[in-house]
Each structure stands twice: as structure tokens, then as C-alpha cells.
Amino acid sequence: MSLTVVGLARFPVKSMLGEDHERLDLDARGVVGDRLWALRFADGKLGSGKNSRRFRRVADLMKYRAVYDADGAPVVTAPDGTTLRPGDPRVPELFGEGVELAREGEAGHQDAAGVSLVGTASLRAIGDLLGDADPLDARRLRKNIVVETDEPWIEESWVGGEITLGDGSGEPLRLRVDARVKRCVMVTQAQHGLPADERVLKTLAEARGMCAGVYAEVLTPAPLALGAKVAAR
């Protein structure tokens, strides 16, 4: 099987739902516009599904969906269908005093890298570990790139090396694969079309060191479209 890009996703606001795309642009930072915005508290912490030194857990963030409008500004749709934009006074009303929808500054919003990727065979393998008939739904892992693969965990063999992604028509996208992705409670949480599932993180902890998918950084920026071929170097 040739390795082919079969899924592309971008998440304008950290820890909220985003949208699938047929084509994404990538620059030195990563996927253009991905996690570029976040809920920011007065103490500088960012809204997330978990608590850490940088993040503050905000319940039900994945019930909100963010997209960009024609002018490149984020538009957040709340569970009740209302929409929020940067500067909207309803943001602190919903999420707490001093909270704002803020654009990334000197401190990045991304967890660890500019791009994340997973293979479909790994999703099938996780489904098998869970005892399910179907693969794990890729939406749980919130990856930018999903690659059609026939060997589970093959993407982990790329750590420390490079991959190219393209359709042969121009300079390909070149990524350096840096690390496996250690998963957190986000993979268990309910989102539109998916119920909460506490089994996922427990199963990954027991069988995979809590890891699924890989992180990568952009070496040669280029656009990326569904159907692009992937080659390890």
C-alpha cells in the first residue's frame, strides 16, 4: 500500500472542535491558523481539557466549534448555536472573569510541535485493543494529518527522521518527525458525534505508554492536499 494522506484537520481555537479540510497550508510554525487562538485567563493560563503549568481545565470546551471567517478571524459556535468572536463580552460571562479569546503571542499555544500525524492502521490497532469492531475515530486524537497505512505504528518508526508529503507537482512538504504523542484526558471526552469514553486513555496507558501518533516540525513549507503521497527518508 502506498502511504496516502486521507485526512486533514485544523483547530483554530485550542481545545475546541475545528473542521476538516481538503487542503491546508503549512509554514515554519506548522499548519497555518492551527491553535492560533485560545481562551486566555488573567493569569496567562490557556483554556484546555486538562490542568498543567500552562493550561487550565475548562469543562465542555469540545462542545464549542471554531472556524475562520472570510477575513481570517475566528468564529466560535457555542452549544446553543450562538456565535462568539474576539472581544465579545459574552466570552468572560461564559468562561469566567478576565477570560478572553486571545491570539498567540510570544508563547505558543501548541502543546509540543507544529504538526501532528497518525496512521489509519494505528487507529485500527487501538480499536482492536479496545475490543471494538471499528477503528478508533480519528477525531479523538485531534490530529492535523491522517495517513492511510497498513502497518500499525509505522509512523513511530519515523521518529528521528524526515518524511515528505506531496502529489509530485511541485516542491513537497518536508517534515522532521520528532516524538511520539503522549495522550491526555482529551481523548476520553465527549464531542459532537462521539460520546465520552474513559476506556481510551486507560487502554493507551496499559498498552502503548499513553502514546498514539507523532509530532513533527516543518522543514520545507508547502501546501498539503488530500491524496498526497507520503515517503519516509
What pLDDT score was predicted for residue 1?
61
Mean pLDDT over 200-210 rounds to 97
Long-range interactions of 125-129: CB distance < 8 A, separation 24+: 125/152, 125/153, 126/200, 126/203, 126/204, 126/208, 126/212, 129/203, 129/207, 129/208
* Longest pairwise C-alpha distance within the chain: 53
Instruction: Give me the chain's average pLDDT, please.
Output: 94
4-31+111-232: CATH architecture: Beta Barrel (2.40)
What pLDDT score was predicted for residue 53?
86
pTM of the model: 0.94
36-47 pLDDT, tens digit per residue, is: 999 999 999 999
113-170 pLDDT, tens digit per residue, is: 899 999 999 999 999 999 999 999 999 999 999 999 999 999 999 999 999 999 888 8
What pLDDT score was predicted for residue 14?
94
70-110 pLDDT, tens digit per residue, is: 999 999 999 999 999 999 999 999 999 999 999 998 777 88
Question: Where do the domains of the chain lie?
Answer: 4-31+111-232, 37-103
